């Protein structure tokens, strides 16, 4: 089949537009990449530096850590900082959230850090968004053993999503 010059030009333009859009998306958040941890925002958000020196904010998938102004919020951040600051991690991106952060699983030396923070009582399973069936059992054990956030008296423990709602509605 022969294309007319105009049809051929439109075909090439469509291919170029599609290919450049896909390449740009892949550059923004490739599905699986290595990066160095540049900053730890809190117990479930880090910023990584790519070889190009571009930084990307990463929100841990499946979990929600206490806000820094909540009980155990600063401890969760400090614990994650002591492990990850300056370290090379593997990022497995699931999606991009409404704030432009890559929502991802983070691996350090083969350890799934999303599961780690739950297992060590540094974060809750974010039931509304959780897609990891194994992480729920880790939370159950941490809760039974009163590890980390689970050691806070029940009356003083507020889930981060409820805390944010309260702050918004003040």
Segment 21-53, tens digit of pLDDT: 223 334 556 689 999 999 999 999 999 999 898
Q: Are residues 116 and 140 in the same domain?
A: yes
Show the DSSP H helices in 5-148 as ranges: 5-28, 73-84, 113-119, 135-144
Going by C-beta distance under 8 Å and a sequence separation of 6 or more, which residues neighbour residue 27?
none
Q: Give me the pLDDT at residue 155, please.
A: 87
Q: Are residues 15 and 43 in the same domain?
A: no
Q: Are residues 62 and 97 in the same domain?
A: yes
Q: Are residues 23 and 41 in the same domain?
A: no
Locus of tokens 């850590």: 65
Residues of the chain with pLDDT below 70 are 1-30
Indicate which CATH number applies to the domain containing 132. 2.40.50.90
Q: Which residues are catalytic?
A: 59, 67, 101
Q: Are residues 107 and 161 in the same domain?
A: yes
Query: How many domains are contained in the chain?
Result: 2
Q: Are residues 46 and 9 in the same domain?
A: no
The span from the CA of 96 to the CA of 38, in Å, is 19
Instruction: Give the range of the structural domain holding residue 21, as residue numbers without chain letter.
Output: 1-29
Q: Are residues 50 and 97 in the same domain?
A: yes
Q: Give me the pLDDT at residue 17, please.
A: 34
Q: Are residues 69 and 104 in the same domain?
A: yes
Q: Are residues 6 and 75 in the same domain?
A: no
Q: Are residues 6 and 68 in the same domain?
A: no
Q: Is the whole model's pTM more than 0.95, yes or no?
A: no
Q: Are residues 63 and 4 in the same domain?
A: no
Q: Are residues 4 and 47 in the same domain?
A: no
SS3 121: coil
Q: Give me the pLDDT at residue 30, please.
A: 64
The span from the CA of 88 to the CA of 92, in Å, is 13
Q: Give me the pLDDT at residue 29, please.
A: 62
């Amino acid at each position: 089949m022969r294309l007319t010059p105009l049809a051929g030009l439109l075909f090439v333009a469509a291919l170029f537009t599609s290919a450049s859009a896909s390449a740009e998306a892949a550059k923004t958040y490739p599905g699986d990449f290595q990066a160095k941890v540049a900053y730890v925002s809190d117990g479930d958000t880090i910023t990584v530096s790519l070889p190009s020196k571009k930084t990307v904010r990463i929100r841990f998938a499946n979990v929600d850590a206490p806000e820094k102004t909540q009980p155990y919020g600063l401890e969760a951040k400090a614990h994650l900082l002591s492990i990850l600051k300056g370290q090379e991690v593997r990022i497995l991106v699931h999606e991009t959230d409404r704030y432009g952060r890559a929502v991802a699983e983070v691996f350090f030396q083969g350890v799934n850090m999303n599961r780690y923070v739950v297992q060590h009582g540094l974060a809750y399973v974010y039931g509304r968004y959780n897609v990891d069936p194994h992480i729920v059992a880790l939370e159950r054990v941490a809760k039974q053993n009163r590890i980390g956030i689970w050691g806070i008296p029940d009356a003083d423990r507020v889930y981060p999503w409820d805390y944010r709602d309260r702050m918004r509605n003040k």
